[in-house]
Amino acid sequence: MKLGSSVTAVRSTRVLVGNEVRPAVVIIENGKIKQIVSHADFTEEDGSQVLDAGNSLVMPGIVDCHVHVNEPGRTSWEGFWTATRAAAAGGVTTIVDMPLNSVPPTTTLANFQEKQREAAGKCFVDTAFWGGVIPGNQLELRPMIQAGVAGFKCFLIHSGVDEFPHVTDSDLHSAMKQLQDTGSVLLFHAERDVEANPDGTNDPRQYSTFLQSRPDTMETEAIRIVTELCRQYQVRCHIVHLSSAQPLELIQMARQSGAPLTVETTHHYLSLCAEDIPAGATQFKCCPPIRGSTNRELLWSALKDGKIDMVVSDHSPCTPDLKKLECGDFTQAWGGISSLQFGLSLFWSSASKRGFTVPDVVRLLCHETARLCRLDNQKGCLAPGYDADLVIWDPEKEFEVITKIIQMHDPLMMAKIYVLLLKVQVKEGNIHHKNKLTPYLGVTLQGLVRTTIIRGQLVYRDGCFCPEPLGQLLLLPSRAHAAHL
């Protein structure tokens, strides 16, 4: 079966049907799932395109609602072509692009329209868009809702880029008033400046120096503000990339009092821990920071207990020079981790050892992420009427992020070796996002993606892509428009 062709049915001995994995055939018509039947009830017709997945697992494609594509403006960091190819290779069938770090940011209707023009014809997976809330743009919010943004994001601390300034309390109240009764959602980068209490080394090459500069209280104080706003205005609010377990009690109390509040964490907070980060290894830097192993286990417990709603990549790449690998200065390096292609495997590698099941994967990486951005009526579920977005993968199969890694403890030597490995990696094409630096280089992961299908079309299979992008731009109907449908 050729890449890019339309599939009429997918057959496997392992298909997730409801909460049960069993033999089944997913029948596809006009890009939608028509029905799911047993092998005995399926009759293959002449001319049909049936993909036999053997014993590989078939489930809904991943919906990653936290991706920084950076186009237009910073295409040396990433772009729609490379980001969506990486997504397809990882079984991600829908991404939602963040309003920064593109130039211009998605903070006005005109900028949103420019972003759509840039994305057109470049997406290998379906792509939706977040808008941004910055000081003074409150009158742009409703026009962007009408134009189809999934919702909005704001920062309570410096964003890292000057063109996307953080909001004040006054800005937040203005934005919340605009968002009332729209059905939209406001996402918060929930860190707030607090007085730091440095303890120990000030060596910028030590990860502990950076970690001490972003204590848990920064998240707690920010989330306290978010919960108060959410209760007051009854506007849907969402906390992005929770790294600290300390604010979980605040979040639970707000929910119990009726606040429409959700929260996500990321693969790096669940997979990595501060104790294992070597000096000068700035590829591990992100904001909020990766914290200790005890905190990580508390996040896993909260995920199992339903206190954290979903898991995303927060794919935030940059060019290697911005990571300051040669000097290993955590205080100066760009904060962001690239992992879009490996999210499913990263999650399953750890989750499967902690008692999570395939239905849990779908709930946390597909359904809840789709629901956040109002795509849950068409994405994130293997059922009749939904888009035929499928990932076919082998949960037991292990693979290395790159085929060879040399372990070195000298950061300068690591940087030099990285350049050498990068050249080999590009040639081998194992990592598909634009800049290959990631903390997962050399890590063995469990769960290999074999095939990705988007709206019934075969876009990725065993390392190869369809010749042309087949993804669509997803514009979300506003509540007023949806009421007339």
Each residue's pLDDT expressed in tens, for the chain with a length of 485 residues: 999 999 999 999 999 999 999 999 999 999 999 999 999 999 988 789 999 999 999 999 999 999 999 999 999 999 999 999 999 999 999 999 999 999 999 999 999 999 999 999 999 999 999 999 999 999 999 999 999 999 999 999 999 999 999 999 999 999 999 999 999 999 999 999 998 666 667 899 999 999 999 999 999 999 999 999 999 999 999 999 999 999 999 999 999 999 999 999 999 999 999 999 999 999 999 999 999 999 999 999 999 999 999 999 999 999 999 999 999 999 999 999 999 999 999 999 999 999 999 999 999 999 999 999 999 999 999 999 999 999 999 999 988 876 333 333 344 444 443 433 333 232 235 899 999 999 998 888 999 999 999 999 999 999 999 999 999 999 998 765 443 33
pLDDT in tens, 363-420: 999 999 999 999 999 999 999 999 999 999 999 998 887 633 333 334 444 444 343 3
The reported pLDDT for the residue numbered 11 is: 98
The reported pLDDT for the residue numbered 199 is: 66
The reported pLDDT for the residue numbered 246 is: 98
Amino acid at 28: I
Place of tokens 């120096």: 209
Q: What is the C-alpha separation between 335 and 266, in angstroms, rounded?
A: 14
- Cα-based distances in Å from 44 to 27, 382, 383, 480: 10, 21, 20, 43
Taken as a whole, the chain contains a residue count of 485
What's 330's DSSP letter? T
3-state secondary structure of 120: coil
Q: What is the C-alpha separation between 411 and 428, in angstroms, rounded?
A: 25
